[in-house]
Amino acid sequence: MPIFEFQCEECGEVFEELVLGNKIDGVKCKKCKGSKVHKLISQVAFKAGGKFVSSSGSSCGSCSGGTCSSCK
Ligand SMILES: [Zn+2]
C-alpha cells in the first residue's frame, strides 16, 4: 500500500497518508486541514540511499583492489 509521509507547510504537522495513483493534490493536513503539504522522503529510502558499502580484503592500498603484486 502506498503510504507516504507528509509535512504541512502551515503548521508543520507530520502525518502519514494513503495515496492512490500518486494523487497527492488532494492530501490535506490532518491537524489544520491545510492543503499546503509536501511529501517527505521516507526513512527507509533515506537510509538505503545514504548507505555506503565498503569492500575489504582485496585492496592493499596501492591499487584499486587485487591487481598489483602485493595483493597476491
Ligand atoms: Zn497543518
- pLDDT, tens digit, 9 for 90 and up, residues 19-59: 887 677 789 999 999 999 999 876 554 444 555 555 455 55
Q: What is the reported pTM? A: 0.54
Helices (H), the chain: 43-50
- Please check the confidence at residue 12 and state whether its pLDDT lies above 90: yes
CA 36 – ligand 1 centroid, Å: 8
pLDDT at position 45 is: 46
> What pLDDT score was predicted for residue 49?
52
Nearest Cα neighbor of 27 from 2, 54, 45 is 2
pLDDT for 71? 63
Q: How far apart are CA 70 and CA 52, in angstroms?
A: 26
Cα-to-centroid distance, 16 and ligand 1 (Å): 13
Ligand 1 mean position, distance from CA 6 (Å) = 10
Q: Which residues contact 18 (CB under 8 A, 6 or more apart)?
A: 1, 2, 3
